[in-house]
Chains A and B, each alone.
Chain A
Amino acid sequence: MARYKIYPETSFWRRLGDPENPDLRKTSYRFFRSIQSRDRIHISKLVLLELSETPDAEERRHVLKRLWSARPKMVTTSRRAERIALELLSAGGWSEDVFADMLHVSYSMLSEVDALVTWDHGDLAREHTRKIVQAYGKRQRLSVPLIGTPEEVAEWLGLKIR
Chain B
Amino acid sequence: MARPKDPLVADVKRIRRKISKRLMEAHRRGRLHEELLSMERQGERVCRDAINGSHNGNGKHRK
Contact = CB atoms under 8 A, between A and B. Distances in A.
B21 A52 contact: no
Contacts of A48: 40, 43-44, 47, 57
Nearest to B57: A48
Interface string A132-158: 000000000000000000000000000
Interface residues on A, range: 35 or more
Given A49-B40, A50-B19, A77-B36, A120 B50 contact: no
Contacts of B40: 44-46, 48-49, 77
Nearest to B16: A100
Contacts, number: 111
B5 to A, nearest CB: 9
Contacts of B51: 61, 64-65, 68
Contacts of B44: 45, 48-49, 52
A79 B33 contact: yes
B12 interface: yes
